Amino acid sequence: MRKKIAAGNWKMNKNYGEAIELASSITNAQVPEDVTVILGVPYIYLKEINEIAKANPNVFVSAQNVHQKENGAYTGEISAPMLKSIDVPYVIIGHSERREYNCETPEILKEKVRIALDNGLDVIFCCGEPLEIRKKNEHESYVKDQIEKSLAGLGDEDMKRITVAYEPIWAIGTGETASPAQAQAMHKAIRDYLKELFGEKIAEETAILYGGSVKPSNAVEIFGQEDVDGGLVGGASMKTDSFLDIIKSF
C-alpha cells in the first residue's frame, strides 16, 4: 500500500506570525490517519514548525531545497547536515522554479539527492515539462530523462525514501488546464519508467504526487486516479480551510 500524501509548498510566503498560525492550525486539525501531511516551509521557520508538527503523528515538515555540498564557502546556502541537526525529515529537490530560476541541472540534483539521503532526509523529487515540450508531444521522454539523470543508480533502500512529484509546468499559470486523465497518464508513464530502472516492487511502492494547481474543487477527482498518490500543493496549501479540504479528499 502506497502512502497517501498531501504536501504543501509555501515557497517564499508567510511572515513569522502567519507561518506559526498556519502550521498550528493544520497540526491541531483532525487529519485522516492514513494521510501523511507535509509542510514545505521557509528555512527560518523549520525548527519551530518542526516542533509544532510533532504534536500530530501525521504531520511533518520539509525544507524547500538543500545545497549539494556538506559545508563550505557557499554564502546563503543550507546544507543537509544542518537540516539533519534540527531533525528535519523531508526536503524538496528539483522543483521547477529551482530548475528555472537557479539553473539547477540534473547533475546538481543528483548530488543533492545523494547528500540528502546520506544525511537521513527523505526526498520529494520534482520533475515535469514546460508548455513547449508538451505541445511537441515530447513530455514523457523529457520527464524520463529528468528521472534517469538524477535518480538512476540509487539502491532499493534509497528509493524507499524517495517520493516523486510530477509538475505539469505547462498547466501552472499559463491558462492551460491539465485534466485528471492527463495527470493519470503521466503518473502511469513515470511509474512504468521506475519499473524499468528499479523493478516492479519499488515502482509500486513509490508514491507519485501531482503538482499541477491542486485545489479543493479538483482534488477528489485527481487523487482518485490509479497512479496518483497525492499532491504537492502550492497556493491552496497556504490557507487552513482549503488545505484541510485537500487533505480529506482521498
The whole-number mean pLDDT for each consecutive block of 10 residues of the chain, a chain of 250 residues, reads: 95 98 97 97 98 98 98 97 98 97 97 98 97 95 98 97 96 77 97 98 98 92 97 95 96
Comparing CA positions, the residue from 202, 250, 245 lying closest to residue 230 is 250
Residues 6 or more apart in contact with residue 145 via CB below 8 angstroms: 106
The reported pLDDT for the residue numbered 234 is 93
Residue 171 pLDDT: 84
Say what the pLDDT of residue 244 is: 98
Angle formed at CA 243 by CA 51 and CA 234, multiple of 5 degrees: 90
Q: How far is it, in rounded angstroms, from Cα 19 to Cα 17?
A: 5
Q: For residue 196, give every residue at least 6 positions away whose Cβ sits within 8 Å of its Cβ, in sequence order, or none.
A: none
Active-site residue, selected from the candidate residues 97, 104, 167, 187:
167
Q: Left if phi > 0, otherwise alpha if psi is -120 to 50, otherwise beta: which for 15?
A: beta
Tell me if 19 sits within 8 A of 47, measured CB to CB: no
pLDDT of 172 reads 81
Does residue 95 have an active-site annotation?
yes
Catalytic option among 67, 95, 139, 187: 95
- Give the pLDDT score at 178: 81
pLDDT of residue 175: 64
Domains present along the chain, CATH in parentheses: 4-247 (3.20.20.70)
Note the pTM of the prediction, 2 decimals. Answer: 0.96
What's the confidence (pLDDT) of residue 109? 98
pLDDT of res. 213: 85
Burial per residue of 33-61, b for 16 or more beta-carbon CB atoms within 10 angstroms, e otherwise: eebbbbbbbbeebbebbbebbeeeebbbb
Burial (Cβ within 10 Å: 0-12, 13-18, ≥19) of residue 5: buried
167 carries an active-site annotation = yes
